[in-house]
Amino acid sequence: MYRITKVLNHNTVLGIHTDDNQEYLIMGKGIGFGRKITERIETRPTDKIYSLRESTERGNAKELVSAIQPIYLEIANEILTNAERTFNTLDKNVLFPMADHLEFAVKRIRNHEQISNPLTDDIRVLFHMEFKAAECVRSILQEKLGVTITDDEIGYVALHIHSSIQDENVSQAMQMAQAVRECISLIEEMTEKTIDVQSLSYNRLMNHIRYMVARTLNGEQLKISMNEYMSIKFPRSFETASNICNKIARNMKRDVDEMEIGYLAIHIERVLYDELDSQRRETI
């Protein structure tokens, strides 16, 4: 049972649980309608309950709730409810930074200040299921606020969903996407050809960089070095891999293990081979 401390709107209230004496955000259809402060309520199975004790990368949850318009909390809750159908377990604390982002995004859109996201295509591939789950925001914002959202903004929502299912924040997910984009750009410069993001070699490369960044963030090291073999056998790919690792290290302000270069070079060589093989087939 909860004792209401504040009614935000018809569908959202703040309440203190009578067992642990902690405050929660409670969301559910009509749960706040006609309610008064200090009134006691029972929650229903369909209601969503969020703790206000946690801190997020955007600030304290309780402070965010007081600063965010309730409609954006409702929209974020609807997005997460939709995402739960794909991802069984989510970190509910992402509700607050997601709602905060949505409110700011809508403000930008209404002021005709929409921002571009150069990593949208990479996010769409790197976090495919998260992007699919985030696409529901398009119809939700149109229905509730009459606002049309772009794929670039959906990409950012996808990163919030990703942060709710992985032990990493949005900025770390952006670092992964940025690392993939830099890698692909360098390889495209080498081949003078746009890489097919739907190809198997691209997906292998993408996933390798994803886990390489994760290892770097966690301070993990590979066991066996492929550097000597790859530097001799495939010097072009090795040099590109070295450049990419240096860029990633600068962007992340962390040292990238030297042994990562050889393994990254293997994946780059696969992409190069696939692209060159594709070019040969096109000339036949």
Helix (H) / strand (E) containing 47 = none
Per-residue pLDDT, averaged over 107-114, amounts to 87
Are domains 54-167 and 171-283 of this chain identical in fold?
Answer: yes
The count of other CB atoms within 10 Å of the CB of residue 250 is: 10
Confirm if 58 and 97 have CB atoms less than 8 A apart.
yes
- Separation of alpha carbons 170 and 174, rounded Å: 6
171-283: CATH superfamily:
PRD domain (1.10.1790.10)
Confirm if 235 and 271 have CB atoms less than 8 A apart.
no
Instruction: Write the class of the CATH domain 1-52.
Output: mainly beta
Please state, for a pLDDT cut of 90, what percent of the chain lies above it. 47
- Separation of alpha carbons 19 and 72, rounded Å: 29
Confirm if 157 and 133 have CB atoms less than 8 A apart.
no
Q: 33 exposed, middle or buried (CB, 10 Å; 0-12, 13-18, 19+)?
A: exposed
Lowest-confidence range among 171-175, 201-205, 277-281? 277-281
pLDDT of 284 > 60? The answer is no
**pLDDT band at 214, cuts 50/70/90?**
confident
- Separation of alpha carbons 190 and 213, rounded Å: 23
Please state, for a pLDDT cut of 70, what percent of the chain lies above it. 93
Closest residue by Cα to residue 102 from 52, 156, 146: 156
What are the sequence ranges of the domains in the chain? 1-52, 54-167, 171-283
Residue that wins the pLDDT comparison between 160 and 169: 160
Per-residue pLDDT, averaged over 27-33, amounts to 93
Continuous H helices in the chain = 61-67, 70-83, 95-110, 120-126, 128-134, 136-145, 151-165, 170-191, 200-218, 227-233, 235-252, 259-283
- Separation of alpha carbons 169 and 162, rounded Å: 8
Q: What is the CATH number of domain 54-167?
A: 1.10.1790.10
Summarize pLDDT for 31-64 with one digit per residue, the tens: 999 999 999 999 999 999 998 886 665 567 888 8
Q: What is the pLDDT of residue 119?
A: 84
